[in-house]
Amino acid sequence: MIRYFLALCALWLASLSAAPAPRPKNIILLIGDGMGLTQVTAGMYANGKKLNLDRFPITGLMKTQSASHLITDSAAGATAFSCGCKTYNGAIGMTRSRKPCLTILEQAKQNGLATGLVATSSITHATPASFIAHVESRADMEDIALFFTQTELDFLVGGGLKYFNKRSKDQRNLYQELQQKGCQVYNFQEKPLQKLQPDPKYPFAWFSALGEPDSVKAGRDYLPLAAKMATEHLSKRSDKGFFLMLEGSQIDWACHGKDGPRAVAEMLDFDQAIGQILAFAEADGQTLVIVTADHETGGMVLEQGEGFEVLDLEFNTGQHTASLVPVFAYGPGAEHFGGVIDNTDIYRQMAMLWGYVTEPVVGN
Ligand code: MG
Ligand code: ZN
């Protein structure tokens, strides 16, 4: 009896001393656009059977359907991540009833955290746009650019300069407006990213192209460097932490074009950026890193080629598919991203970890 009582006391004491579940100070969401399991597998075999993705302790599978379609586009996919609501294909930060939805980036900003967006597409393209803009159609690039003057990012790297400084809808020069607001703004015509050292006292932006940046096979090389610079810069911008979304945008474009070697090159470029992010997170210890995709593109098939590293990649379609996509998570809170989840759970879990929501978000 006494032994039983002592055991109960021990249990009670253990429950008192159990540390609360750790919450991340920083969250980094990495999106491989179009990155299904086969894109990951192809990158892995092309790279000597290993990727930085192998180092993530938690993995899951994610459902990607949108409110309007079994097969999502990147706008509805990214809005599910940024706002936690299922919406119609083409919507940027808007609910299915065409009302703006608050994004995790905007919430982080309101709570005093630093924020950043990095992409290998134009920064106004569907995936990055869905974290900062609210428009009914992803095609309205100039309207999307206006939101970058309303919500100040601490770190921006991507293409799309012409939507800022060569606007056809109005005569505004948003590039100059960002400069006037105190942002360190540069573009590829002045200096490559390698030549720049952001001053942590001010926000930083670098535009990599007038419109869409080159493919990695055509010489684009800034993504891994931008990943490293973003973490260094953002961690100095706020004591409260930061939110960063970084996208490997062109895995999707290579697969639309049914170009296997280009898809592998884009996948490995994205994985190098993931390596830079993991190095920061491992040293920091307070950073949650989530890697996932908005959808698979191309119905990619990996067939037997020459040996292990010369791959025969085939495509079933030039469009997106509805396959489940992989999720990888590392750091405090990573356990919430395992199992089979929905794309809206990415927002919900991030927002719950940061205390922005207490209830699951219901699609509206
Ligand atoms: Mg994209
Ligand atoms: Zn696509």
Mean pLDDT over all residues of the chain? 94
Rounded to the nearest whole angstrom, what is the distance from the C-alpha of residue 126 to the centroid of ligand 1? 6
Rounded to the nearest whole angstrom, what is the distance from the C-alpha of residue 85 to the centroid of ligand 1? 18
**Is 126 inside any structural domain?**
yes
**Is 281 inside any structural domain?**
yes
Rounded to the nearest whole angstrom, what is the distance from the C-alpha of residue 296 to the centroid of ligand 2? 8
Residues 6+ apart with CB under 8 A from 153: 115, 116, 117, 132, 203, 205
Q: Distances from the Cα of 100 to the Cαs of 38, 89, 141, in angstroms? A: 34, 15, 17
Q: What is the CATH number of the domain that holds 39?
A: 3.40.720.10
Q: Which residue among the candidates 17, 66, 68, 74 is catalytic per the annotation?
A: 74
**Is 52 inside any structural domain?**
yes
Q: pLDDT for 198-242, tens place per residue?
A: 999 999 999 999 999 999 999 999 999 999 999 999 999 999 999
The angle that helices 343-353 and 74-83 make with each other, rounded to 10 degrees, is: 20
Tally the domains of the chain: 1
Range of the domain at 122: 25-149+241-354
Mean pLDDT split into 10-residue runs, the chain, 364 residues: 63 62 94 98 95 98 97 98 97 97 98 98 98 98 98 98 97 97 97 97 98 98 98 98 98 98 98 98 98 98 83 96 98 97 97 86 48
Helix (H, G, I), strand (E, B) or coil at 38: helix
**Is 201 inside any structural domain?**
no
Rounded to the nearest whole angstrom, what is the distance from the C-alpha of residue 307 to the centroid of ligand 1? 32
Ligand nearest to the CA of 33: 1
Ligand nearest to the CA of 72: 2
**Is 219 inside any structural domain?**
no
68 flagged as catalytic: no
**Is 255 inside any structural domain?**
yes
**Is 15 inside any structural domain?**
no
| pLDDT score at 363 | 46
Q: Distances from the Cα of 6 to the Cαs of 3, 10, 17, in angstroms? A: 5, 6, 16
**Is 54 inside any structural domain?**
yes
**Cβ-count burial of 355 within 10 angstroms (0-12 exposed, 13-18 middle, 19+ buried)?**
exposed
How is residue 215 written in tokens?
Answer: 């493919």
Ligand nearest to the CA of 320: 2
